[in-house]
Structure 1
Amino acid sequence: MMQFTTHDFADAGDIPNNPDLPLILYRAALVEDGTDRASAFERLFTSHGWGGSWRNGMYPFDHYHSTAHEVLGIASGTVTVQLGGDAGLPVDLVAGDAVLIPAGVGHRRIASSSDLIVVGAYPMGQRWDLVRADDVVDAGAVRTRIRAVTLPAEDPLAGSKGPLAKHWTTG
């Protein structure tokens, strides 16, 4: 049965994080009997209005997206990720887990198994960018873009009844 937790991250300077929206970590989000969990994640995300999906690993450097929210589903393998920058939270993820990352929240791979496959997606209509923590950027403009990213219509894993509806609201 899927369980979730939420995590808030303070502004870390070179990783702005998100001042309004918590990261949502889903455990056992997708328990598939078959071996094609990647396709199952893609179907699930698409059914809830999340597209632009991809399959790959995870970058080993701190980065964030200032123009889109991102969901990552672990289709196979295991990965340890650092969320929220150096002062944030290291998390171990296994196949079937997922993480909903608000625009601005830093993330990077610390370690992974050789069979890691991550499926990523974005709310329909949002185009992602990639900002590395060590990029020289206009910090004010980045934070303005992050605050302007619209809320998705549905939670990528549980639709209108998912934790996004309760925890992602504008004040």
Structure 2
Amino acid sequence: MTKPQPETLVLEADETGGFPNSPLPVLIYRQILDTSAENLAARFEALFARHRWPPQWRYGLYDFDHFHSTAHEALGVFRGLAHVRLGGPDGCKLDIAAGDALVLPAGVGHACLEASDDFTMVGAYPLGQSWEVERGQPGELESICRRVAAVALPDEDPVGGALLSLWRQGAETTEQ
């Protein structure tokens, strides 16, 4: 069985906005699950849990730029669609829809710019990592970058895809 291949996006730090982002790529898995099947939310939860990313919530995406400095995050869209921004206030915009999954490295800013009324996701984090919400404080960027750099790479990709090889390449590039 071949591993699902994601779209990738590398986001530079936004120093003026206080968003560290990451040298590790954001992974965007399009239509990773069939949207015509029953109970897409439970199917995302089972997929993430099987790969040691325990699901922790079902909700939308905050409409303000934020990031997590102590955990990586997997988002599985199980209903609706949204226009989102990744990377902080000056970041990259993209559309996501039911069946898509995003994997955000620690430090990557994200916000919902527009969404359908029914837009909802499952959120999951690697086993042993706990998350918090950071809103980008330029004066705290140095200490936040240290926290982000200390977040361990996960043992598995939350959807069984290419995360390990892609993120190990990103980590090696940073160390050189």
User: Please, what TM-score do these two structures have when normalized by structure 1?
Assistant: 0.92
**What code does the residue aligned with 1:112 have?**
A
Number of residue-to-residue matches in the alignment: 166
Of 2, 12, 37, the match for 1:10:
12
8 Å Cα contact 1:2/1:27 also seen in 2: no
- Residues 93 and 2 (structure 1 numbering): CA distance in 2 closer, same or farther, change over 3 Å? farther
Q: CA RMSD in A?
A: 1.6
How far apart are residue 22 of structure 1 and its match? 0.7
Q: Is 2:167 the partner of 1:155?
A: no
Query: Using the alignment, how far apart are the partners of 2:53 and 2:163 within structure 1?
Result: 13
Q: Is 2:53 the partner of 1:50?
A: yes
8 Å Cα contact 2:13/2:19 also seen in 1: yes
- Matched with 1:70 is 73
Q: Is 2:94 the partner of 1:95?
A: no
Local SS of the residue matching 1:166: helix
- Matched with 2:107 is 104
Query: Using the alignment, how far apart are the partners of 2:82 and 2:4 within structure 1?
Result: 19
Q: Is 2:41 the partner of 1:38?
A: yes
Query: Using the alignment, how far apart are the partners of 2:62 and 2:148 within structure 1?
Result: 20
Q: Deviations over 1:57-114 (max 9, x none)?
A: 1100000000000010100000111011233211101100011000000000000000
Local SS of the residue matching 1:29: coil
Local SS of the residue matching 2:54: strand
Greater helix percent: which structure? 2
The runs of 4+ residues in structure 1 deviating greater than 3 Å are: none
Query: Using the alignment, how far apart are the partners of 1:69 and 1:148 within structure 2?
Result: 11
Query: Using the alignment, how far apart are the partners of 1:154 and 1:69 within structure 2?
Result: 12
Query: Using the alignment, how far apart are the partners of 1:17 and 1:138 within structure 2?
Result: 14
8 Å Cα contact 2:77/2:97 also seen in 1: yes
**What code does the residue aligned with 1:145 have?**
R
**What code does the residue aligned with 1:17 have?**
N
- Matched with 1:59 is 62
**What code does the residue aligned with 1:15 have?**
F
Q: Is 2:120 the partner of 1:117?
A: yes
Question: Which is further off, 42-51 or 20-29?
Answer: 20-29
How far apart are residue 140 of structure 1 and its match? 1.4
User: Please, what TM-score do these two structures have when normalized by structure 2?
Assistant: 0.89
Unaligned stretches of 5+ in structure 1?
none
How far apart are residue 4 of structure 1 and its match? 1.6
Local SS of the residue matching 1:43: helix
Of 127, 143, 146, the match for 1:144:
146
8 Å Cα contact 1:2/1:28 also seen in 2: no
